[in-house]
């Protein structure tokens, strides 16, 4: 079956989903070099679902099947592993593929320099490992994610920070000393009594520092704290961002 053209797609019932799909499909169409790319990173979240879906459509197209069936897809967590398998793509590991041709991932917020907040879905460490191992890192997101200028303008729940569980009190205290106004250990809510446990068996802290004029400096300070595994600030990492709008149009921002 030939890959459906973007212009022929029927709109989805939910406009937000249409926006995510439009961004993801176009990002795949414009950033996978089917002749040369061999290793593809597949991130986490609700937008990247459509990236895997689009690659699955290419896999079913006889014109691309021979190439896409040879792609090795590197996941960023449990959900993304399932996305790869459910779309018939070949699952690989970063241990065997430490250089990735192109990585696609979502974001919680994107500033005007293409710095990101990520980790709203608790997947930030593996996402950073994969995105910083990629020659191109393409962000896919819907219209709610673009900050007018600075990070933490729209994303109000704080910077996600993955930490070693035994260090949670110490890291929380140190974050307050760095200026965090509000610090919480993320809880599982009705789905789990107690803290969220990441795919790496760690905890997450969400630390609210207000609007971020210098996210790079803050990232460095947080990263230096004992007990911090990684921060959800992705600095100077993304190559390009595809932002889907409710009307199905997509805006493209380059680094």
Coil, strand, or helix at residue 172?
helix
| Whole-number Å distance between alpha carbons of 127 and 43 | 6
CB 202 to ligand R5P: min, Å: 13
Q: Are 158 and 184 in contact (CB under 8 A)?
A: yes
CB 1 to ligand R5P: min, Å: 26
Q: Are 244 and 184 in contact (CB under 8 A)?
A: no
Taken in order 133, 135, 141, 143, is the CA torsion positive or negative? positive
Nearer to ligand R5P, 67 or 206 (CB): 206
CB 116 to ligand R5P: min, Å: 8
CB 106 to ligand R5P: min, Å: 3
Give contact residues for ligand R5P (rule: CB under 6 A).
Answer: 43-47, 105-108, 118-124, 127
Nearer to ligand R5P, 77 or 92 (CB): 77
Residue of this chain nearest to ligand R5P (CB atom): 45
Nearer to ligand R5P, 118 or 136 (CB): 118
Neighbours of 222 (CB within 10 A): 24
Nearer to ligand R5P, 57 or 131 (CB): 131
127 part of the active site = yes
Taken in order 91, 86, 26, 5, is the CA torsion positive or negative? positive
Which strands form 116-117's sheet, in the order they lie side by side?
109-110, 116-117, 233-234
Q: Which of 127, 162, 213, 230 is catalytic?
A: 127
CB 247 to ligand R5P: min, Å: 19
Q: Are 183 and 208 in contact (CB under 8 A)?
A: yes
Furthest CA-CA distance within the chain? 58
Nearer to ligand R5P, 71 or 242 (CB): 242
Q: How far apart, in Å, are the Cα atoms of 57 and each of 5, 62, 84, 237?
A: 11, 10, 12, 28
Q: Where are the alpha helices (DSSP H) in the chain?
A: 15-31, 48-60, 62-68, 78-86, 124-131, 168-178, 215-223
Q: Residues with catalytic annotation?
A: 127
């Amino acid at each position: 079956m030939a890959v459906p053209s973007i212009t022929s797609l029927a709109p989805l019932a939910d406009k937000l989903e249409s926006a995510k799909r439009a961004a993801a499909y176009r990002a795949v169409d414009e950033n996978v070099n089917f002749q040369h790319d061999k290793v593809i990173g597949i991130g986490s979240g609700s937008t990247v679902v459509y990236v895997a879906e689009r690659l699955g459509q290419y896999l079913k197209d006889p014109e691309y099947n021979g190439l896409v069936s040879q792609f090795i897809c590197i996941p960023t967590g449990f959900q993304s592993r399932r996305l790869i398998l459910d779309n018939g793509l070949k699952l690989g590991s970063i241990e065997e593929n430490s250089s990735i041709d192109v990585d696609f991932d979502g974001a919680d917020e994107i500033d005007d320099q293409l710095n990101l907040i990520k980790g709203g879905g608790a997947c930030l460490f593996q996402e950073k490992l994969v995105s910083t191992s990629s020659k191109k890192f393409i962000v896919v997101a819907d219209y709610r994610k673009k900050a007018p200028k600075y990070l933490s303008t729209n994303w109000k729940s704080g910077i996600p920070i993955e930490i070693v569980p035994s260090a949670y009190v110490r890291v929380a205290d140190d974050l307050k000393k760095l200026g965090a106004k509000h610090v919480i250990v993320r809880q599982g809510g009705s789905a789990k009594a107690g803290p969220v446990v990441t795919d790496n068996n760690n905890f997450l802290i969400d630390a609210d520092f207000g609007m971020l004029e210098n996210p790079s400096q803050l990232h460095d300070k947080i990263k230096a704290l004992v007990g911090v595994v990684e921060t959800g600030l992705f600095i100077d990492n993304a190559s390009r961002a595809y932002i889907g709008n409710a009307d199905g149009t997509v805006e493209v921002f380059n680094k």
